[in-house]
Each structure stands twice: as structure tokens, then as C-alpha cells.
Structure 1
Amino acid sequence: MTDIAELESQASELELAKFDHSDAWELGTSIREGALQAGLRVAIDIRRASGAVLFRASFPGLTADLEDWIDRKSALAFRFEESSALVTERMASFGLPEGSTGWLDPARYVLAGGAVPIKVTGAGVVAVVTVSGASSAEDHALIVEGIRTLKAA
């Protein structure tokens, strides 16, 4: 995975000026296109803290297990208001054994990359985008590239 300093740098780089339903659609479809180009089969979810789903897509052949991964990754990103990759790397730097969730309830949270909070300047976290189905690093990279594409539009 990426190191902590790089993940922290990404977090500030990815802050948006606004984020609405149209932006969620653009972001989700951009991530889907990136996954297609990379030959990755993933599920994509963008939701608000209230649970309102702004975008959802899944490639054929994926299992229902990914629903659980999406829920637990997004819960981690909402709880810490940081990417799940960054939280996972910080936990590892504290010596938490691989596969452990420490004090976090493993039924509710998972330490794995692939969920990034959508932060809007002046508003804070307004949503979380989650990708699951590839490796943690690939899931995270798809989101980062998607947000960069959205910002550049």
C-alpha cells in the first residue's frame, strides 16, 4: 500500500469545492471506466452518512460478500473522516497485527483500502466513495484517479 505521508498528501489534494448528485454520477462512472480499462471487476458505492446511496454499480460475477466489505470500509472512512487506506496504514504503524481491527468491532469495520471520504471545502465530509473487489491498493487507486478526474473536469 501507499505510505502514510503520501496518503495524507492525497487527502488534502482530493478536497472538492462542491459535491452533488451530478458529481456523484460523474465520479462513479469515471471509476467504472477506470476499472474497465484496468481489467478489474469491482463494486462501486457512493453514499452519504445518512445511508442515502448516490451511486451504485457492480460488475457481473461479483458475490454478495462485497456488500459487507463496502459497508465496513465506508463505515471506517465515515468514523475517522480519512481514507480507509490511511487508517489501515496508521493502525499498522502502531503495531496492530495484520488482519486485526484492534478495538474496532470487526462486524462493523474492516481495515482495508478502498473507501475515501468526499470532503468539500467549508463543509467537511459529505459522502464516502467505496470500491471493493480488487486489492486494497487497486480499490484505493481507482477512487483517487476518479476524484482527480472529477476535479479536472
Structure 2
Amino acid sequence: MLNTLPPPTRDLSELAKEEKSFTFAHFTCEHAWVIGNILRNALRTAECPALIHIALPHQTLFHSPSLPGIMPDHETWATRKKNTVLRWGHSTWHMSCQFGGDYKRFAEYHAMSGDEWAKYTIEGGGYPVFVKGVEGVVGAIVVVGLGVESEQAHGVVVKAVEEYRDLREGFRSPMRSMTVK
């Protein structure tokens, strides 16, 4: 599955447009649960051990490995990807493309010291969550894994959000259709 994903664009305006096209009406633990499971099932099917982390700035909504094989370092990378998304409001792939994958240019541009630089990454796999009516990014969807390239990690998250949107399209909750007298 991972090898069949088309490579993502490197065009910054197209990436920003793609990110904003996935604006949610609202975002709760239920959304994170469904998206997290879509990701987990896709990565399991591809036999790719990865860590899936979906969070708001100060609250984890979903956190699960897809398969055995996750190392403690994956936790650190998940945090770094989440931090990048929340600070700059773009996917980590967008940030990588903006700086040509050059960490030194990225750090110099943002005047970051070594200690601060260690809190962020420009490896793909971190994706912003936008909510209608809320200014800025409200959360992050992150994939960190063994054998998942930066481009592939971005593509897997985009595919999962697209699948989620397709599932939700036309869905009407029985609870929403009930009228209270």
C-alpha cells in the first residue's frame, strides 16, 4: 500500500491548499479514534510498524502502534512532529519542502539554538488539524515508523483523512435526527 501511494506535491501553495481542504466542522476524540484506526489498519495491512499519535496541544486523543517493533525513540519523533505542526501550522512535509529538507537552513531561518532545534523536525508524517471558525491549527495527526519514508508518511496521513472524509460524507447520526418534544 505504501509503495502505491502517489508521491505528494512539493509545491508549497498546493500543500497549503490541501491542508486547508481538510477543515473539520469540529474535532473530538471520536474523530481521532476513527482516523487513528484507519491509519492503524492501513499500516498493519502494509506490515509497517509505526506509531500513530493524534493530539491537541495539551491532550492526546489517540496513541497506538500499528504493529510490534516500535522503539522508545518513536515517542520523541512523534512529539517533534506534533510540535512542528502546532508551532508553524503546516504539515511537516510542507516544512521540509519549504527548506528543501535542509535542517540547518530551517534552524537558521527560525534562529533556533541546538536545544530548541531538537524540539522540532521537518520529516514528513505530521499533519495539521483545522476546525471551521477556529483561527490556526488545533491539533496534529502524526505517523512515525520503521521503513516509512518522509513522503510516504505524509501520503499515508493524507489518504487516511481522505478516507475519513469519504466515510463521513452523507452520514447522518441517528442522534442528530431525533427531535425532542
| TM-score normalised to structure 2 length | 0.76
Q: CA RMSD in A?
A: 1.6
49, 58, 72: which one pairs with 1:64?
A: 72
Structure 1 gap segments, 5+ residues each: none
**Displacement of 1:37 after TM fit?**
2.5
Per-residue CA distance 1:113-135 (angstroms, 9 max, x = gap): 11111101112422111101111
Distance in structure 1 (CA, Å) of the matches to 2:151 and 2:14? 13
Relative contact order (alpha carbons < 8 A, sep ≥ 6): 1 or 2 greater?
1
User: Are the equivalent residues in 1 in contact too, given 2:96–2:102 (CA < 8 A)?
Assistant: no
2-structure distance, mates of 1:6, 1:36 = 29
Partners of 2:85 and 2:126 within 8 A in 1: yes
Q: Which runs of 5+ in 2 are unaligned?
A: 1-7, 168-181
Larger Rg: 2
- Where 1:47 maps in the other structure, the secondary structure is strand
- Give 1:39 deviation, angstroms: 2.7
Q: Normalised by the size of structure 1, how large is the TM-score?
A: 0.88
Distance in 2 between residues matched to 1:46 and 1:5, nearest whole Å? 25
Number of aligned residue pairs: 148
Q: Is the 8 A contact 2:38 2:160 kept in 1?
A: yes
Is the contact made by 1:82 and 1:116 (CA closer than 8 Å) also made in structure 2?
yes
Per-residue CA deviation, residues 18-70 of structure 1 (Å, 9 max, x unaligned), is: 211111100100011111223321100011111x1100111201111111111
Q: What SS is found at the alignment partner of 1:120?
A: coil
Rounded Cα–Cα distance in structure 1 between residues aligned with 2:123 and 2:82 = 10
The answer as to 2:9 corresponding to 1:2 is: yes
Equivalent residue number for residue 141 of structure 1: 155
Q: Does residue 144 of structure 2 align to residue 132 of structure 1?
A: yes
Q: Which amino acid in structure 1 is aligned with residue 121 of structure 2?
A: V
Question: Which residue, out of 54, 57, 68, partners 1:46?
Answer: 54
Task: Give the Cα separation in 2 of the matches to 1:113 and 1:139.
Answer: 6
State the Cα distance separating 1:14 from its structure 2 match: 1.5
